[in-house]
Amino acid sequence: MPLTKLQFKPGINRETTSYSNEGGWFDMDKVRFRFGFPEKIGGWIKKTTKTFLGTCRALHPWVALDSTSYLGVGSHLKYYINEGGGYNDITPIRLTTSAGDPVFATKANTLSAAITVVDTTVPLTSSTGFPTSGRIKIDDEIITYAAVSSNDLIGCVRGVNSTVAAVHSSGATVGCATIIVTETGHGALENDFVTFSGAASLGGLVTAAVLNQEYQITDIVNGNVYQVEVREVATIEDITTTNGLEPTYVFSNTSDSGNGGSSIVAAYQINTGLDTTITGTGWNAGTWGRGTWNSSTSLLVTGSTLRVWSHDNFGEDLIINVRDAGIFYWDQSDGVSTRAVAISDLAGSVSAPTIAKQVLVSDKDRHVIVFGCDGESSSGVQDPLLIRFSDQENVLVWNSLVTNTAGDLRIGSGSKIVAAIETRQQVLVFTDVSLHAMQYLGPPFTFGINSISENITIAGPLAAIAVEDSVYWMGAEEFYVYGGAVQRLPCSVRDYVFNDINNSQLEKVTASTNTAFAEIMWLYPSASSSECDSYVVYNYQQQIWYYGTLSRTVWLDRGVESDPIAAGTDHFLYSHEVGFDDGSTSPSSAISAYIESSQMDMGDGERFVFMKRMIPDLTFRDSTAAAPSATMILKTRNFPGANYVQSNSNGVSQSATVPIEQFTDQVYLRLRGRSFAFRIESDDEGVTWRLGTPRVDMRLDGRR
């Protein structure tokens, strides 16, 4: 027989069985399609060697008038502006107390009852197999130890109630890093950040310089008391690692009996949010310390909802919003060392909203628009269906008068606004059950809103993305597109995605684009994960679907940045489509990529097929490896439900694994079976490949 072309339909199809998808692709990872042919995706490198605190779910790039490039980075703990590779913390301040309101106390004299040393017979030394310093975590207990001059000091124990102590081998407590802070109505939550100033030394090792720093609250005792763990002088940014904060503790002694003096001032940053979605009420709903006994975890309770930021430019300045919390303004002329402030606190602010679900700036008419906010006459009372907009080109004026264009609108269907997406002509507003179009009309009405569709769903506040004048989004069980009318997108991987998605974490679904390859991508957590570890792609040029695995929580397309930027679960930002390797390791490591076809047969599967030769069509163009290669696998089986095996009972080969190099012209095979599948994979550094149309020399056996 003449050579047979192995031609496959582009895209992945998991809506049918492998056998019925003959001539198509059935499985893949880290592969995309370009002009109908599969190729390995590009690699990634760390954008900066520094890490950020928390889980990032918001990235926003812009350029100031002086050509300085900025990147807004919003995590569940902080909001940063990345400039030149450094993270500048602009997280707003929620409360600054009066001098003397906070009072300090140590646990040095009361700690022995709280710490139980179970085993003190093995000193932590290099001779017993331990490094001279480090941390050990056993369940919820963290043991931190460091090299010290005293041979009796075996380590530091962090046990219940966030107690940190230095412990002798005898079990005696010799010091404590925990400071108790008493302040009436502090309003802080566990993991919140507070900066102290004006404190005096406690009298011993805990000096004024040690106290007058930014700290993360480790435990909330009650509404008036919380705890921090004091450290040597260092900024939060300097001790931020991929594991969070790793300070060098300062242990108080019996001389640290002071209370910090009467000049202590505490500046509390806005409450931190959660990095996971919590539903339900009462016991086991929410994180420990987030509310009172049996309290509800309403999405409107600050600190009890997944932390999502929205942000947009107002000129060269930045407006940011914590979902279901405040709206803040950062003035670029004040520099990156200045924090954002609430717009309601700006000089000249009139009737500004104080709480919202989302903020954006209308590019066409220069109004600041907030969604799901408090009303002009009901400050602080959130209406989840209310939309308000400022006076044109004025972030300060929000009171609606005949002399300005400020005003409000209210959506009449649904229970809350979930997301708003700006397109070229309008702003699409999603509620939990409907879609609406908000359009600029001009004076005297300014904006109007129309219902577009009912009975639609959207996975979460980050699940929609605009591409030109169309909007694509993931729903609860469907994918949708709006380009004048709402349509369900036919999806050939629908069952595969929605049967392997963590429905309790749908709020984390994030839509993004990679326009260089005409891709719309949704990052989502698989069923076995609580964090985004997978992606599904719709290629809108080829109108095909494919998927893969990648631990990224948010993706930003190229534009201001020359390459796409994504945030990893390891707290690094990565530049993507750079090189061909995984830059999260040092040195870089290979990316494992593969694609596998559905099974194919000859003669409707009535006869056996013999394959004796294959001519590969594989290019390694642009690979940096000295001898790039990939592996091609041809495997056969006799029945759709049977396994692919190496050989049959007669010893005849049923699978062939062949390395393909840059100048491989042909390979010889000896395969026999009723149907066969084709696979290509690679796991070498510096290798990229693109598959064309391989040819196989095969003939039909007369036996059936």
Compute the distance between CA of residue 123 and CA of residue 130 in angstroms, rounded to an integer.
Answer: 9
Task: Let me know whether 117 and 248 are in one domain.
Answer: yes
pLDDT in tens, 20-60: 898 999 999 999 999 999 999 999 999 999 999 999 999 99
- What domain range includes position 104? 93-269
Count how many domains the chain has: 2
Least confident of 42-56, 411-425, 430-444, 649-663: 649-663
pLDDT of 301: 42
Instruction: Indicate whether 313 belongs to any domain.
Output: no
Do 259 and 114 have their domain in common? yes
Is there a domain that residue 83 lies in? no
The larger pLDDT score, comparing residue 643 to residue 239, is at 239
Q: Is the pLDDT higher at 443 or at 381?
A: 381
386 Rama sector, left if φ>0, alpha if ψ -120 to 50, beta otherwise = beta
163 and 262 housed in the same domain: yes
Q: Which of 371, 88, 65, 20 is nearest to 236 (CA)?
A: 88
Confidence of residue 112 (pLDDT cuts 50, 70, 90): very low
**Residue at a domain's end among 269, 293, 321:** 269
Shared domain for 13 and 119, answered yes or no, is no
- Residue with tokens 């076995």, as numbered in its chain: 528
- Same-domain check for residues 147 and 232: yes
Does residue 11 sit in the same domain as residue 141?
no
Helix (H, G, I), strand (E, B) or coil at 588: coil
Question: Do 12 and 118 share a structural domain?
Answer: no
How far is Cα 464 from Cα 480, in angstroms, rounded to an integer?
9
Question: What was the pLDDT predicted at 152?
Answer: 38
**Residue 348 backbone class (left: φ over 0; alpha: ψ -120 to 50; beta: rest):** left
Query: pLDDT tens-digit profile of 245-259?
Result: 999 999 888 789 999
418-431 residue pLDDT tens: 999 999 889 999 99
Question: Do the bridges between strand 9-12 and strand 24-29 make them parallel or antiparallel, or are there none, so unpaired?
Answer: parallel
In a domain, residue 537? The reply is no
Range scoring the smallest mean pLDDT among 96-110, 140-154, 349-363, 623-637: 140-154
Q: Are residues 128 and 9 in the same domain?
A: no
Q: Are 140 and 17 within one domain?
A: no
Mean pLDDT for the chain overall: 87
Q: Residue 368 has what pLDDT?
A: 98
Per-residue tokens: 225? 């008391």
pLDDT exceeds cutoff 80 at 346:
yes
Residue 502, in any domain of the structure:
no
232 versus 604: the higher-pLDDT residue is 232
> Confidence class of residue 295 from pLDDT cuts 50, 70 and 90?
very low
Query: Closest Cα to residue 106, out of 144, 160, 163?
Result: 163
**For residues 622 and 58, is the Cβ–Cβ distance under 8 A?**
no
Share above pLDDT 70 across residues of the chain, in percent, rounded to a whole number: 83
Domain boundary among 247, 269, 291: 269
In a domain, 681, yes or no: yes
Q: Are residues 139 and 244 in the same domain?
A: yes
pLDDT of residue 279: 64
265, burial (CB in 10 Å: exposed 0-12, middle 13-18, buried 19+)? middle
- Which residue, 211, 243, 269, sits at the end of a domain? 269
Burial of 38 (C-beta count, 10 Å sphere; 0-12/13-18/19+): buried
CA distance 594 to 29: 6
Q: What is the 3-state secondary structure (H, E, C) of 198-225?
A: CCCCCCCCCCHHHHCCEEECCEEEECCE
The answer to whether residues 151 and 246 belong to one domain is yes
Q: If DSSP codes are grouped into helix, strand and coil, which group holds residue 496?
A: helix
Residues 216 and 110 placed together within one structural domain of the fold: yes
Q: Is 427 left (phi over 0), alpha (psi -120 to 50) or beta?
A: beta
pLDDT of res. 647: 45
282: left (phi over 0), alpha (psi -120 to 50) or beta: left
> Is residue 114 predicted with pLDDT exceeding 70?
no
Domain-located, residue 8 = yes
Asked if 153 and 172 count as a contact pair (C-beta separation under 8 A), the reply is: no
Tell me whether residue 617 is in a domain: yes
How does residue 145 score in pLDDT terms, banded at 50, 70 and 90? low
665, part of any domain: yes
